[in-house]
């Protein structure tokens, strides 16, 4: 009995697409796309070319809606509208691939026409309700099962369906858009009746809203190590040296400008001399005088040393 329950739980877990874009990887998207396309090919009697094109269309749809299903479950109205936009584009592309008779049968199968629904805080594919064996496939994989990544989606073709005009059979000419029909409210209640729409959520957040509402975690819980401290002190010293050098450059440029002004006008030069300049000149003159006196003293000491040497040589001569 426990083994049977375990198998049932494992089977149900494969049908669940949990909230979160990380839960559905690209390999998961391909697997779900193949399962849905395989059942459509079985019921609608698709040709090989139709089978490959329907796989591409379903892939584009599932790959796109996986990024908004979190917000759908959260109750954001803009995400619900975005989901039905994806669905209408998908159904429009299928309209150019399927024949008129195939498309009419497609619309009658709710698990094909509106493939996703929510229950509680999760979303599911309706096709698994009808086809409970999730590992059974009627047909082999499409030839581009691992290589197709959305290159035929209409955003790459000036927002025009890539599949328009590829088939010569009569296509469906009636209403296919779900949001434009009178039964849109009924369909939406059937698809997402468990979702409580949040008031004021009809506008999708912009990038600025996303960045300004997130709390930065880089400044909190930061541990300072000795190496980090040394790096920070080195950076601060480098910054100080850079700022001081820039200050020196600015001061030298100011002194150059002032000297230029003093050369052009002698009267302005005399009036622009400040006590600080006089102190600088006096200090420089004192430095020159002290250096001169030290030179003279060193010269006299060398003279004395030379005289003492000559006297010692003269005394030696006398001996």
pLDDT digits (tens, 9 = 90+) for 282-317: 444 443 444 444 434 344 444 344 344 444 443 444
CA distance 190 to 113: 13
CA distance 93 to 162: 8
* Radius of gyration from C-alpha coordinates of the chain: 43
Specify the 3-state DSSP secondary structure of 117: strand
pLDDT of residue 85: 95
Q: What is the mean pLDDT of residues 80-105?
A: 96
Question: Is 137 in contact with 34 (CB distance < 8 Å)?
Answer: yes
pLDDT of residue 295: 38
CA distance 240 to 234: 10
Q: Is the model's pLDDT at 119 over the cut of 60?
A: yes
Q: What is the mean pLDDT of residues 70-81?
A: 95
CA distance 179 to 304: 113
Residue 219: DSSP 8-state: S
pLDDT band at 231 (very low <50, low <70, confident <90, very high): very low
Structure tokens at 62: 């599932």
pLDDT band at 159 (very low <50, low <70, confident <90, very high): confident
pLDDT band at 189 (very low <50, low <70, confident <90, very high): very high
| Residue predicted with more confidence, 7 or 130 | 130
* pLDDT tens sequence across 239-282: 444 444 444 444 444 554 544 444 444 444 444 444 444 444 44
pLDDT of residue 254: 52
Q: What is the mean pLDDT of residues 48-55?
A: 98
Q: Is the model's pLDDT at 191 over the cut of 60?
A: yes
Q: How many beta carbons lie within 10 A of that of residue 116, not counting itself?
A: 21
pLDDT band at 59 (very low <50, low <70, confident <90, very high): very high
Phi, psi of 224 (to 5 degrees): -100, 120
Structure tokens at 308: 């003492």
Averaged pLDDT of the chain: 73
Q: Is the model's pLDDT at 221 over the cut of 80?
A: no
Q: What is the mean pLDDT of residues 21-32?
A: 82
Residue 125: DSSP 8-state: E
pLDDT of residue 5: 53
Phi, psi of 116 (to 5 degrees): -120, 140
Q: Is the model's pLDDT at 133 over the cut of 70?
A: yes
CA distances 285 to 188, 279, 281, 309, Å, are 93, 10, 6, 36
pLDDT of residue 179: 87
Structure tokens at 190: 């059937």
CA distance 125 to 79: 18
Q: Is the model's pLDDT at 213 over the cut of 70?
A: no
Phi, psi of 132 (to 5 degrees): -80, -20
């Amino acid at each position: 009995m426990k083994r049977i329950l375990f198998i049932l739980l494992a089977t149900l877990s494969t049908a669940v697409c949990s909230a979160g874009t990380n839960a559905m990887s690209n390999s998961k998207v391909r697997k779900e796309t193949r399962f849905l396309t395989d059942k459509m090919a079985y019921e609608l009697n698709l040709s090989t070319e139709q089978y490959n094109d329907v796989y591409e269309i379903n892939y584009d749809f599932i790959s796109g809606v996986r990024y908004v299903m979190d917000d759908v479950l959260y109750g954001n109205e803009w995400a619900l509208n975005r989901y039905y936009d994806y669905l209408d584009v998908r159904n429009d592309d299928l309209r150019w691939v399927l024949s008129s008779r195939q498309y009419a049968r497609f619309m009658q199968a709710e698990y094909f026409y509106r493939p996703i629904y929510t229950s509680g805080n999760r979303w599911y594919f309706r096709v698994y309700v009808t086809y409970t064996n999730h590992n059974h496939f009627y047909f082999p994989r499409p030839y581009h099962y691992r290589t197709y990544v959305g290159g035929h989606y209409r955003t790459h073709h000036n927002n025009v369906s890539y599949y328009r005009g590829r088939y010569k059979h009569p296509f469906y000419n009636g209403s296919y858009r779900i949001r434009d029909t009178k039964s849109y409210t009924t369909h939406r209640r059937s698809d997402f009746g468990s979702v409580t729409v949040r008031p004021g959520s009809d506008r999708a957040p912009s990038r600025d809203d996303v960045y300004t509402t997130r709390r930065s975690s880089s400044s909190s819980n930061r541990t300072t190590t000795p190496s980090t401290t040394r790096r920070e002190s080195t950076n601060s010293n480098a910054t100080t040296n850079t700022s001081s050098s820039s200050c020196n450059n600015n001061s030298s440029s100011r002194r150059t400008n002032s000297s230029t002004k003093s050369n052009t006008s002698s009267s302005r030069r005399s009036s622009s001399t400040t006590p600080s300049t006089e102190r600088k000149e006096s200090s420089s003159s004192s430095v020159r005088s002290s250096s001169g006196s030290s030179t003279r003293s060193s010269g006299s000491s060398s003279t004395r040393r030379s005289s003492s040497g000559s006297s010692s040589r003269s005394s030696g001569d006398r001996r």
